[in-house]
Amino acid sequence: MTEALQAEITGIFGAYYWVRLTEEKIPAGMHPLFFDGGRPVLTAKPSGRLRISEAAGQRERREHLLAIGDQVGVELHPGSGEEIMASIVAVAARRNMVQRGAADRVQTLAANVDLVLVISSFDQPAFNPGFIDRVLCECELARVPAIVVLNKYDLFNKLSEQRRGDILATVEIYRALGYGGLTESFCQGVSTALDELLQKKRVLLLGQSGVGKSTFLNVRAREIIQRTQDISIVNKGRHTTVNPVLYSMPGGEELVDVPGLREFGMQHLQQADIRFGFREFSKISCRFDNCLHRNEPGCGVLEAASKGEVSQRRYKSYLAIVESIKEHFKPRKGDYWRGIRK
């Protein structure tokens, strides 16, 4: 076993990982899977001492703590003739991470990213601002910039006049808050505005199934790297991505694609956290410091919403998120609990 080298995780396939070495030089006796940006990519598994660690006097399983974008140390197995070419033996501290949570676990979607692209669509599947607000809330708490993009503008004129008006009004809210609110038709290319935002960044793509993430990847890569499929008859879309992967694009950006999400759970957070995930609330004063902005006396947010100074739609979305979180949620033993990033 050789000396540990620096690498980063670029693909996750169950218990196996793609790791991209920092150095371009091919280690002696190694036959990389492929090269990414001139650097060799190998298959690796977490070492036993990484999977099992001593934490607070208890043994804790850690393999699910690894995420796309993690900087890791690897020990190589040159000339072994095995499919697994390296062991992941160390993980560096993250500068940020984007997560989602269900009732029983926390999933780290990506680490060390520069931007989150929240992709929705005008139709097929229907525009879903509730999903967008959840992702934006997580990005605010994770301190990761986020941009909202609405794809399939080519379907816009097929919608009813009222539906078009409702969507455009919501997009204006995102624009006013600094979330971009770009309108695109990926089947026809990518706008100059979006192209400029992506330059030389590591970008996490998040969106529900069927919104066009795979089409976007193909356009940026200038080749077919993700198989696209027709939208299902129930308008929920089909999963075209199976495993999370980081792709290096010809334009210089790196795109992190994760499987299309049907939901974006936030049970990894406490109810009190959510108020800090809505940036329009930050300059509003309430009578009590621990105000949850629901029905507390002297709540400035509630008053601002009643006066139209805060979007009623966004305020209702905030309330829906707060109500969806279980008061006594406890992470599964070994989960990468959000408290670590505080």
pLDDT in tens, 59-116: 444 444 799 999 999 998 876 556 778 999 999 999 999 999 876 678 899 999 999 9
Stretch among 196-205, 216-225, 264-273 having the lowest mean pLDDT: 216-225
| 55 compared with 225, residue with greater pLDDT | 225
Separation CA 158–CA 267 (nearest Å):
37
Could you give the percent of the chain with pLDDT greater than 70? 83
Whether omega before 145 lies within 30 degrees of 0, making that bond cis, reads no
**Model confidence pLDDT, tens digit, residues 181-205:** 999 999 999 999 999 999 999 999 9
The reported pTM is: 0.86
For the record, the structure tokens of 182 come out as 């770009």
Which residue segments constitute the domains of the chain, with CATH numbers given?
5-91 (2.40.50.140), 97-257 (3.40.50.300), 271-324 (1.10.40.50)
Nearest to 182 by CA among 141, 134, 209, 148: 148
Q: How far apart are CA 204 and CA 254, in angstroms?
A: 9
Closest Cα to residue 46, out of 88, 9, 80?
88
In sequence order, what are the residues at sequence separation of 6 or more whose Cβ sits closer than 8 angstroms to the Cβ of residue 267? 101, 102, 103, 324, 325, 326, 329
